[in-house]
């Protein structure tokens, strides 16, 4: 009898076995927006990865780590795109990647969730809460969200660019992350 009880206890006491989800890069996008001389612009990161662990029955046990190749930022404006990797902006020579890491998804009703994590850009880390929607259908999931950041909180825009006179301080971040699980 004891040998039957032990497996039952282990199953009920063990944390949920979350599935590993694989980013589908051709269906996903990571965009940013801002203003330059009062005119809105948008850009995107063409190279980023995501490590995702998620069980729909236990969203509080989820984890995600997004790693962004800052050199992949493009806005369609040659002058801006050539400046972004420089030391005044992303400083990719010293910090080629940005990361967002979070643990636990909090259900907010329906397909709405939040997660609290850390965003690191240029070696500067801040805690933030990210609202998003999540649609899971079979072995496919789509998460969409947006938030607003102050670029200078992360050291983006040094020297003459720090005041926001020419390039606005507020940056919007929008994402669509499509991932699939193994089963």
- Summarised one tens digit per residue, pLDDT across range 103-158 is 999 999 999 999 999 999 999 999 999 999 999 999 999 999 999 999 999 999 99
The residue ranges of every structural domain in the chain are 18-181
For the residues 49-67, what does the mean pLDDT come to?
96
Backbone angles phi, psi at 62, to 5 degrees: -65, 155
C-alpha–C-alpha distance, residues 55 and 153, integer Å: 33
C-alpha–C-alpha distance, residues 73 and 79, integer Å: 13
Average of per-residue pLDDT values in the chain: 91
Residue-level pLDDT at 182: 77
C-alpha–C-alpha distance, residues 64 and 142, integer Å: 14
C-alpha–C-alpha distance, residues 164 and 130, integer Å: 24
For the residues 77-95, what does the mean pLDDT come to?
97
Domain range 18-181, CATH architecture: Beta Barrel (2.40)
């Amino acid at each position: 009898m004891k040998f039957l009880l032990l497996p039952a206890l282990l199953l009920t006491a063990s944390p949920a076995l979350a599935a590993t989800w694989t980013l589908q890069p051709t269906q996903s996008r990571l965009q940013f927006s801002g203003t330059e001389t009062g005119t809105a612009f948008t850009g995107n990161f063409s190279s980023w990865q995501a490590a995702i662990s998620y069980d729909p029955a236990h969203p509080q046990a989820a984890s995600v780590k997004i790693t962004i190749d800052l050199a992949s930022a493009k806005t369609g404006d040659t002058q801006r795109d050539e400046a972004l990797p420089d030391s005044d902006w992303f400083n990719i020579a010293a910090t080629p990647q940005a990361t967002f890491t979070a643990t636990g998804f909090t259900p907010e009703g329906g397909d709405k969730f939040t997660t609290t994590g850390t965003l690191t850009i240029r070696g500067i880390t801040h805690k933030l809460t990210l609202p998003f929607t999540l649609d899971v259908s079979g072995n496919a999931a789509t998460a969409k969200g947006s938030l607003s950041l102050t670029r200078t909180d992360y050291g983006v825009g040094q020297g003459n660019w720090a005041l926001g006179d020419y390039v606005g301080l507020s940056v919007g971040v929008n994402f669509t992350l499509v991932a699939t699980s193994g089963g």
